[in-house]
A = this chain, B = another copy of it.
Amino acid sequence: MKLISPDFDNSSKTPLYIQLYNYLKGEIMAGGISSGEKLPSLRKLAKDLSVSVTTADLAYSQLTVEGYIYSVPQSGYYVSELGLDDSHESAQPKGIIGHGTFSIDPPAYRYDLSCFNFVKWKKCMARVLNEYPEALLYESDPQGEEALRCEISRYVYSSRGVIADPDQIVIGAGTQQLTSHLCRIMKRMSIGLVSTEDPGYLPVQNIFRDHGFSITKIPVGQDGIDINRLPTNLASAVYVSPSNQFPTGSVMPVGRRYQLLQWAKENQSYILEDDYDSELRYFGKPVPALQGLDKHSRVVYLGSFSSTLFPAIKISYMVLPEEMMHIWSDIKTDYTQTCSKTEQLTLALFMAEGSYSTNIKKLRKLYSQKLQVALNAFGKYAKGVVQPINTQSGINIILKVRTRKDPAELSASAGELGLNVIPTAGLTEQDTAALIFYYNQIPLEEMDGCIKNMINKWVE
């Protein structure tokens, strides 16, 4: 064994016992002290190095906890067999790390801060932190905070005609998260097939696929999904967005809704109704949800706050029909809540004091003005090349562009203008690109010029 002779730095802030621990670990790793060797006793080491026995004891204890040495009762301390191979001559990690100070890049696209009342929101959040900090010392309910579920229960009834007891409502961080829970529930019901709209919303399809479901794509027409092509004589589920089909914008008429409910009832199947932004309908009253028409507990209703609060909020909810609710009750403690408890409680307060409905009213007005200006601009500058569709509601417009350019190229050139325009699969045809144009974040006074410039770039 090498002489144990650490160079203590008495002026250092590092305690002596850690200096000793570091020295001994280094020697062991470098082979200066070999495995199996007996170390000096605590008293001897303390005396040799002129340190206290406590210092020696603390160093040996730490080395023992980490397994570099071990103690044999009535005998002493020994160096462990570490099984180092040649590539481990140094335990020191190789550099990296350290990226400067805190900074957040501004969004890549144009934005309009008048879309959301952050002042009110901040006040609600401060109230939660000031008045209920103890609530944050415990995890959120896997089903979501009761205070929020009560508010949602009241809200979906009055705004969408959805009948939901707070116990039927499950909160999660986004539709994908809730879809994961639905997959778990449906597997326990021996449902293994999901029909989806084609074209449709892909992010949920990724979740069905990950959970091993078979997926059948059913074409969407002007009245929504083609009900006659849904599977029969088999319990399955269909994922639909009947009040503003994504991306076509079609609305399923009430007669078709009853037909779909009839299909579900006859085949012991379920309708997964994604009602993602139906509060934002600008012409006429919103179309009531399918769930409110259901008398046989065959509908799961899915809603989200991303479009009506702010996109980073990540709070979604679903309303489970009775049988699914019982299964969920059995399994829910297997899963932790993903949604921020602070934000759930903040939203509950924001809704309870009426700020949420005020905000929706404001958004309806603001977005319908923006939509009108956008449609006028497309009228003026489209030159028969760009055709806007799906223009009744929501936060985006689908554009059909007559072009031979790649949709990704169109998206990139719109991006250069700070416009968020995303290619959408399913609607693209020969010589026609389909893109989703998010108009809602473009400031009203910039709308006309932005659209003019975008179209000019596209026809270049």
**Is there contact, CB below 8 Å, between A93 and B161?**
yes
Q: Select A312's contact among B84, B137, B285, beta carbons within 8 Å.
A: B137
Q: CB-CB < 8 A to A287: which residues of B? A: 65-66
Task: List residues of chain B with CB within 8 A of the CB of A174.
Answer: 336, 338
**Cross-chain contact B99 with A258 (CB below 8 angstroms):** no
Determine if A314 and B335 form an interchain contact, defined as CB atoms under 8 angstroms apart.
no
Chain A 71-88, CB-CB to B under 8 Å as 1, else 0, gives 000000000111111011
For residue A106, CB closer than 8 A to chain B, the reply is: yes
Q: For the complex, is A372 an interface residue (Cβ under 8 Å from B)?
A: no
Contacts of A118 in B (CB 8 A): 129, 133, 136
Task: List residues of chain B with CB within 8 A of the CB of A151.
Answer: 102
Distance from A398 Cβ to chain B, minimum over Cβ atoms (Å): 18
A97 at the interface (CB under 8 A from B): yes
Report the separation of the CA atoms of residues A409 and B131 in the bound assembly, to the nearest whole angstrom. Answer: 34
SS of A interface (majority): loop
A349 lies within 8 A of B98 (CB): no
Q: Measured between C-beta atoms, what is the minimum distance from A202 to chain B in Å?
A: 8
Q: A343 an interface residue at 8 Å Cβ cutoff? A: yes
Identical chains bound together, number: 2
**Closest residue on chain B to residue A310 by CB atoms:** B136
With A137-B312, A253-B80 in contact, do A343 and B340 touch (Cβ < 8 Å)?
yes
Are A122 and B116 touching (Cβ within 8 A)?
no
**Interface status of A221 (Cβ within 8 A of chain B):** no
A449 at the interface (CB under 8 A from B): no
Which of the segments A176-184, A269-277, A375-383 contacts the partner chain?
A: A176-184
* Interface pair B340/A314, CB less than 8 Å apart: yes
- Stretch among A189-197, A204-212, A230-238, A356-364 lining the B interface: A204-212
**Inter-subunit contact B83/A262 (CB<8 Å):** yes
Across-interface contacts of A111 in B (CB, < 8 A): 134, 137-138
A-B contact pairs, 23 of them (CB 8 A): A58-B284, A65-B287, A66-B251, A67-B252, A70-B253, A80-B253, A83-B258, A93-B292, A96-B153, A96-B165, A97-B157, A97-B165, A98-B153, A101-B352, A108-B138, A111-B134, A113-B134, A118-B133, A136-B312, A138-B311, A312-B340, A340-B340, A340-B342
